[in-house]
Amino acid sequence: MNVGIIGAGIVGLSSALWLQRAGYRVTLIDSNEPGQGASFGNAGLFADYARLPFARFAMMRKMPGMLIDNQSPLSLQSHYLPDLLPYGWHFFKACFPANYSRGRQALTALQALAPEADRILLKRAEAEGLVRKEGCLGLFETPEGYEEAKAGDLHERRDQGVNLQFLSADEVRELEPGLAGFHAGGVFYPDTRFTISPVELSRRYAECFEARGGCFLRERVGFVDPLPDGVRVQTSMQSITFDHLVVAAGMASKWLSAQLGIKIPMVSERGYHLMLENNDTQLNRPVGWLDKAVFLTPMIEGIRLAGTAEFAGTDAPPSRMRTNVMLQHAKKMLGGEPTVKASWVGSRPSTPDSLPVIGPLRKYPQITLAFGHGHLGLTLASVTGQLVAQTIQGTPTAVEMEAFSPERFQ
């Protein structure tokens, strides 16, 4: 069987490797080089602790205040407000206890399978050296905020099977002596892994894919046309017919899905990063200031400062205020004036219920969707690819797929 994949980000690449492993002939199509977009700019975390949907009434109540506070990690560019209306309605529905509980169960099921799926692909691509298991620190500025988190999200995460340890400020200092004393303590996730180069990880996957006979076309997709016995894809260069098609194109998946009659209330939730000179700062692992939603991650090129959530169009100009706020947070975390080497902004494809879209279309079973991972693209890419391959093979999937159905928002 000949399978086409639109999108060469980490989800598309992972799907390609799993499908190759299952014996399919695979073609990847993307207008950019592999691993660009959100896959390029993430914080590098395999966030095994992230098992709780954002869609909660407690979060909804906080959002208006956060949006008017220019120091908060959440912002909105006014032109994007109309795009948020369908998203907001489905976010509201996802907040109800029964829906939240189903979402939490679905995320936890994916997270349980993710490390083994990662291990298989990392070994296949000979990329194990790009991933380190040093754990991850999440810190809180005040004792009150720390205690509130202990009784709330952190307690719930522990109930979901997350391995975590509560640390005092002194215990944090022992783990990361290079940090300033801006915090009252925090949580340590000893099992969390991170990559020292997200883009190099994608490149290794792409090299492995091509070395095993995969075809990569650097072309822009214009439209998708389902056929009785396959799918025709029109690119900027040619028309290609596949037996099966996987759409894993991040935010571009929204308009591709609309061509097929599927409306996904997915939004562009932009994240920023600043690459800082390492200088004399020594970090051993990712460190998050959770009150501000920013992470510092040691990487090959330096220390990556990543975070914030900005609702804005994919082509909107970057907000200098966002990067300035992040840099102020970094100064407080590191206790000095960091040198900025480079900056970046990119769009996370985010769904209202915090769950990715994974699975075949009911009307067109020869088309499988795989996108909408929000903050968990890197974390869930490998297990998503595994599920895509199982779906196309027609074998039982490793998890129940209903929660990820492309039609769930219809």
Share of the chain above pLDDT 90, in %: 94
Give which of 199, 175, 178 is closest to 186, Cα–Cα: 175
pLDDT digits (tens, 9 = 90+) for 124-160: 999 999 999 999 999 999 999 999 999 999 999 999 9
Q: Sort 396 into a burial class: Cβ within 10 Å, 0-12 / 13-18 / 19+.
A: exposed
Contact 368, 247 (CB under 8 A): yes
Q: Alpha-carbon distance 1 to 10, whole Å? A: 23
SS3 of 368-410: the string is EEEECEHHHHHHHHHHHHHHHHHHHHCCCCCCCCHHHCCCCCC
Mean pLDDT of the chain: 96
Structure tokens at 78: 């006014």
pTM beyond 0.75: the answer is: yes
pLDDT on residue 297: 98
Stretch 238-250: mean pLDDT? 98
Give the pLDDT confidence of 316-326 residue by residue, as tens digits.
999 999 999 99
CB neighbours of residue 350 within 10 Å: 25
Average pLDDT over residues 225-249: 97
Between CA 71 and CA 332 the distance in angstroms is 14
Task: Identify whether the C-beta of residue 140 lies closer than 8 Å to the C-beta of residue 185.
Answer: yes
Question: What pLDDT is stored for residue 137 in this prediction?
Answer: 98
Stretch 72-90: mean pLDDT, rounded?
Answer: 93
Strand 294-299 to strand 357-360: parallel, antiparallel, or no bridges (unpaired)?
unpaired
Q: Is the pLDDT of residue 71 over 90?
A: no
The predicted pLDDT at position 306 comes to 96
Q: Is the pLDDT of residue 278 over 90?
A: no
Cα separation, 7 vs 15, in Å, equals 10
User: Is 119 in a helix, a strand, or coil?
Assistant: helix
pLDDT at 280: 67
pLDDT at position 279, please?
76
pLDDT at 25: 98
- Of 3, 32, 39, the C-alpha closest to 20 is 3
The answer to whether the CB of 249 falls within 8 A of the CB of 259 is no
**Residue range 189-205: mean pLDDT, rounded:** 98
The pLDDT tens digits for 333-372 are: 999 889 999 999 999 999 999 999 999 999 999 999 999 9
Please check the confidence at residue 281 and state whether its pLDDT lies above 80. Answer: no
Q: How far apart are CA 12 and CA 32, in angstroms?
A: 13
What is the rounded CA–CA span in Å between residue 138 and residue 287?
6
- At 67 the pLDDT is 85
What is the SS3 string spanning 46-69?
Answer: ECCCCCCCCCCHHHHHHHHHHHHC
What CA–CA distance (Å, rounded) separates 232 from 245? 9
Strand-pairing partners, residue 370, are: 358
Burial of 394 (0-12, 13-18, 19+ CB in 10 A): exposed
Q: How many residues does the chain have?
A: 410
